[in-house]
Chains A and B, each alone.
Chain A
Amino acid sequence: MSVDVLNGHILVVDDHQDIRDLVAGLLAKEGYRVSAAADGRQMRRQLIESSVDLVVLDLMLPGEDGLTLCRDLRATTNIPVVMLTAKGDEFDRVLGLEMGADDYLTKPFGGRELVARIRAVLRRTRSVPAGTRSKTACLWRFDRWTFDTATRSLKSIDDALLSLSTAEFNLLKVFVERPQIVLTRDQLLDLTRGRESEFIDRSIDTRISRLRRKIEEDPQNPQILKTVWGDGYVFAADVSRG
């Protein structure tokens, strides 16, 4: 396996020795430089001693807990955070994301999943210049909608919460992150697959029409999710974050 130094330096913070070793080994194999810390104190020392590109942070730590550390990190640095939690509760996910975590993994997670998430977070945060990254990167606004990726909900002006299926959520997330860009069906399939590999692949067209039913005023005459003949789809609405 080729070691790519550009992959970056990852700090794993977990009080469980076994987890630290396993995750470190896994990431090292993927070509990352890995350091480990057992608690908040060690984490701070590591951050001073070397430059870290991403922190994998356990939610439950002795002494200062993961949420506090995450908030601190977010307040003082721009280092992205991937949270590890054993609770697997949606409230914790929302809380973690609100505290500024960039992503969130529930134990017991698999190695491939962890690596994929870390890669995605690094790609996302590197593409945005430091300092402009929103602290609560989970609210998107377009048309008359507010899209909350933390609670996976869509809120309209008249305030009734609209629920999205996982497939619709993933598709919309891909679109709001790439407004005004024409995406082909293959690209969309590729971008939305990733995480939920157990999902059977409905055709992109079916998913698009479902999503249109929810967000378009007139689904027959879409203004937000426009079809580009021969190429694919484009998210035509202006998107703002925060």
Chain B
Amino acid sequence: MIGLLPKSLSGRTVVILVTGLIATHIVTLLVLSEDRVESLTRTEEQHIAQHIASIANIVSNVPSEWRDRIVRSSDGHLFNVRITQDDTNNTLQPIGTSNSTLADLLLRQVRPGTGEPISVDISDANPGNTPLAPDSWRRWLGSRISRLAYGHDRDQAVLVSVPLSEGQRLNFSTSMPLASAPGWERQLAVTGTFLVIVLALSLWAIRKMSSPLALFAHAATTFARNVYAPSLPETGPSEVREAARAFNNMQKRVLQTIEGRAQMLAAISHDLRTPLTTIRLRAESLGDSEVRQRILAAIEEMDAMLASTLAFAREGTAQEEPQATDIGSLLEAICSDFSDIGHDVSFVPCGTIVAACRPLALKRALSNLIDNAVKYGERAHVVAKIREGMIDISITDQGPGVPNEELERIFQPFYRIESSRNRNTGGAGLGLAIAQMALDMHGGSIQLENRGEAGGLCVRVLMPVGTNVANRGAAPRH
């Protein structure tokens, strides 16, 4: 059942609402038309009974020579009155056996001059419509449907015979229209209008109620990329406001945690770097010795580790504003810096590729990747191009590559492949983690690929050209 429902919340609600609405409306219509038919029939019967009774009572109480004149003046097109001699209407039922309401009413209102019974016969006006068994549910349903469809049951012929004195009988013949339920056009119009109004209202209401959901989804996505995403507006119905408040509180807590971590690392780094400075200044005064060189090298290594730890802590809370940047010149500058200090880094000029990005964060990320290639793969070859709306940067090296089972894990902070630990390449194992965080922020990704026979590792960086950089304080609002 659920499988048949539409996917969206509003679609589902509309389907459920409309189904329920149509069902209740049909039931209501049936009950109402039943009621209406019943009360209209009762009125009609009362009216006919009264009419017959008053004529019958007058006729039976006046001298017989007046009867003809009264009957003639009462006779009408739809209401026939005749005086007949007895025995002509043998077929008429004695009133005692009739269970019709009309008969009861007549019995109570007509005071016949003789002791003979009044006979009443109610039958279908159209003999073609043979009624089914009276207690059949199908007959009941059939009549209800015909009422809904045509607005009326069959007309009924009413024949009443009241005995008069002197062997005469007063015969009435009329038809009792049971036209009662309104026509189907009206039903349809009413139901249709009803449906349209309810549909429009419910669609509007659902949109209004589900738009906060879309807002939440958007806010969560933005927040995942940028912890400084603006908080949700705490407006709307109380539940929505409550949820927005809860979301904002969560965001605040996460932000506090991240900022706390950054502050803590900054404090540790500061506290370590100050004594490190004193060690360095003292070591420099040692004069040219091997001890001095070793101390300075150790200080340098510690400093590099502190720097990358700090960069990692700060990446998530970067406060850099995004700006249009020439990615080609950025790559060229990074590559020049590496080759200027003697590394084998080549860059294939790619022309101007302009993208909105945070240049310092992106520079750090790309520098880390090229640094890895130089450190573990002897040399880096960098190519950039635009493909299908994405900036596609590949950095290939000549190293041993990365074991396939490590490809996922090496993005984890502080993770280092065993072989790289042994090779004394230094570093804290944060370079890739920092690069990935920076590219996440730019809506991009990093893919690692062993080149197999060709040798070396190929690092591919994909990033949308129209980079939708998670922008502090300026995320789109709905």
Q: A22-B282, A87-B310, A108-B299 are in contact. Are A162 and B269 (CB under 8 A)?
A: no
CB contacts under 8 Å to B, within A76-92, are 86-91
Flag the segment in A30-38, A165-173, A216-224 that touches B.
A165-173
In this assembly, does A160 line the interface, its C-beta being within 8 Å of a C-beta of chain B?
Answer: yes
**Do residues A16 and B340 form an inter-chain contact, with CB atoms below 8 A?**
no
**Do residues B363 and A89 form an inter-chain contact, with CB atoms below 8 A?**
no
In this assembly, does B449 line the interface, its C-beta being within 8 Å of a C-beta of chain A?
Answer: no
Q: How far is the CA of A91 from the CA of B310 in the complex (A)?
A: 12
Q: A87-B310, A109-B280, A165-B337 are in contact. Are A214 and B269 (CB under 8 A)?
A: no
**Do residues B326 and A199 form an inter-chain contact, with CB atoms below 8 A?**
no
In this assembly, does A110 line the interface, its C-beta being within 8 Å of a C-beta of chain B?
Answer: yes
In this assembly, does A123 line the interface, its C-beta being within 8 Å of a C-beta of chain B?
Answer: no
Q: Which residues of A contact B274 (CB under 8 A)?
A: 16, 18-19, 86, 107
Q: How far is the CA of A25 from the CA of B117 in the complex (A)?
A: 141
Q: Considering residues A87, A108, A198, which has the most beta carbons from chain B within 10 angstroms of its beta carbon?
A: A108
**Do residues A200 and B270 form an inter-chain contact, with CB atoms below 8 A?**
no
Q: A107-B276, A153-B359 are in contact. Are A26 and B281 (CB under 8 A)?
A: yes
**Do residues B275 and A18 form an inter-chain contact, with CB atoms below 8 A?**
yes
In this assembly, does A210 line the interface, its C-beta being within 8 Å of a C-beta of chain B?
Answer: yes
**Do residues B270 and A22 form an inter-chain contact, with CB atoms below 8 A?**
no
Residue of A nearest to B361 (CB): A90
**Do residues A214 and B276 form an inter-chain contact, with CB atoms below 8 A?**
no
Q: A22-B282, A108-B299, A202-B340 are in contact. Are A162 and B307 (CB under 8 A)?
A: no
In this assembly, does A111 line the interface, its C-beta being within 8 Å of a C-beta of chain B?
Answer: yes
Q: How far is the CA of A82 from the CA of B241 in the complex (A)?
A: 50
**Do residues B359 and A60 form an inter-chain contact, with CB atoms below 8 A?**
no
Shortest A24–chain B CB gap in Å is 11
Q: How far is the CA of A60 from the CA of B267 in the complex (A)?
A: 10
Q: Of A26, A87, A91, A214, which one neighbours B270 at CB under 8 angstroms?
A: A87
In this assembly, does B41 line the interface, its C-beta being within 8 Å of a C-beta of chain A?
Answer: no
**Beta-carbon contacts of B254-292 to A below 8 Å, as 1s and 0s?**
000000000000100111011111111110110000000
Shortest A161–chain B CB gap in Å is 4
**Do residues B277 and A165 form an inter-chain contact, with CB atoms below 8 A?**
no
Q: Which residues of A contact B284 (CB under 8 A)?
A: 110-112
Shortest B332–chain A CB gap in Å is 7
Which size bracket describes the interface of B in this complex?
35 or more
**Beta-carbon contacts of B306-324 to A below 8 Å, as 1s and 0s?**
1100110010001110011
**Beta-carbon contacts of A153-191 to B below 8 Å, as 1s and 0s?**
100000111111111100000000000000000000000
Q: Considering residues A23, A163, A210, which has the most beta carbons from chain B within 10 angstroms of its beta carbon?
A: A163
**Do residues A165 and B333 form an inter-chain contact, with CB atoms below 8 A?**
yes
Q: How far is the CA of A202 from the CA of B338 in the complex (A)?
A: 13
Q: How far is the CA of A18 from the CA of B279 in the complex (A)?
A: 10
Shortest A196–chain B CB gap in Å is 8
Q: How far is the CA of A23 from the CA of B269 in the complex (A)?
A: 20
Q: How far is the CA of A153 from the CA of B329 in the complex (A)?
A: 11
**Beta-carbon contacts of B327-341 to A below 8 Å, as 1s and 0s?**
001101111110011
In this assembly, does B211 line the interface, its C-beta being within 8 Å of a C-beta of chain A?
Answer: no
Q: Which residues of A contact B149 (CB under 8 A)?
A: none
Q: Of A18, A89, A198, which one neighbours B314 at CB under 8 angstroms?
A: A89
**Beta-carbon contacts of A91-120 to B below 8 Å, as 1s and 0s?**
100000000000000011111100000000
Q: Of B299, B325, B340, which one neighbours A165 at CB under 8 angstroms?
A: B340
**Do residues A210 and B336 form an inter-chain contact, with CB atoms below 8 A?**
yes
CB contacts under 8 Å to A, within B38-62, are none
Q: How far is the CA of A23 from the CA of B277 in the complex (A)?
A: 10
Q: Of A60, A110, A165, which one neighbours B334 at CB under 8 angstroms?
A: A165
Q: How far is the CA of A159 from the CA of B322 in the complex (A)?
A: 12
Q: How far is the CA of A110 from the CA of B299 in the complex (A)?
A: 11
Q: Considering residues A86, A90, A166, which has the most beta carbons from chain B within 10 angstroms of its beta carbon?
A: A86
Shortest A232–chain B CB gap in Å is 21
Q: Which residues of B contact A16 (CB under 8 A)?
A: 274, 278
Q: A110-B280, A199-B341 are in contact. Are A90 and B332 (CB under 8 A)?
A: no
Q: A162-B329, A163-B332, A168-B333 are in contact. Are A86 and B270 (CB under 8 A)?
A: yes
Shortest B264–chain A CB gap in Å is 13
Q: Which residues of A contact B279 (CB under 8 A)?
A: 108
**Do residues B276 and A200 form an inter-chain contact, with CB atoms below 8 A?**
no
Q: Which residues of A contact B337 (CB under 8 A)?
A: 165-167
**Do residues A160 and B326 form an inter-chain contact, with CB atoms below 8 A?**
yes
Q: How far is the CA of A202 from the CA of B337 in the complex (A)?
A: 11
Q: Which residues of B contact A23 (CB under 8 A)?
A: 281
Q: How far is the CA of A22 from the CA of B281 in the complex (A)?
A: 7
**Do residues B332 and A159 form an inter-chain contact, with CB atoms below 8 A?**
no
Shortest A92–chain B CB gap in Å is 10
Q: A111-B284, A200-B340 are in contact. Are A88 and B310 (CB under 8 A)?
A: yes
**Do residues B277 and A108 form an inter-chain contact, with CB atoms below 8 A?**
yes
Q: Which residues of A contact B378 (CB under 8 A)?
A: none
Q: Which residues of A contact B320 (CB under 8 A)?
A: 91
Q: How far is the CA of A60 from the CA of B282 in the complex (A)?
A: 22
Residue of A nearest to B280 (CB): A108
**Do residues B340 and A166 form an inter-chain contact, with CB atoms below 8 A?**
yes
Q: Considering residues B270, B340, B341, which has the most beta carbons from chain A within 10 angstroms of its beta carbon?
A: B340
In this assembly, does B344 line the interface, its C-beta being within 8 Å of a C-beta of chain A?
Answer: no
Residue of A nearest to B342 (CB): A200
Q: How far is the CA of A217 from the CA of B116 in the complex (A)?
A: 127
**Do residues B333 and A89 form an inter-chain contact, with CB atoms below 8 A?**
no
**Beta-carbon contacts of B442-464 to A below 8 Å, as 1s and 0s?**
00000000000000000000000
Give me 19 other A-B pairs in contact (C-beta within 8 A), A91-B319, A160-B354 excluded: A16-B278, A18-B274, A18-B278, A19-B274, A19-B278, A23-B281, A60-B270, A87-B270, A159-B323, A159-B324, A160-B325, A160-B326, A163-B325, A163-B326, A165-B335, A166-B336, A167-B337, A168-B336, A202-B340
Listed in ascending order, the chain B residues whose CB lies under 8 Å from chain A are 266, 269-271, 273-282, 284-285, 299, 303, 306-307, 310-311, 314, 318-320, 323-326, 329-330, 332-337, 340-342, 352, 354, 359-360, 363
Report 16 cross-chain contacts, Cβ distance below 8 Å, ordered by A residue: A16-B274, A18-B278, A22-B278, A89-B314, A91-B318, A107-B273, A110-B281, A110-B284, A111-B284, A151-B359, A160-B325, A160-B326, A163-B333, A163-B363, A165-B337, A202-B340
Closest 7 interchain pairs by CB?
A165-B336, A86-B270, A86-B273, A163-B333, A108-B277, A161-B325, A163-B330
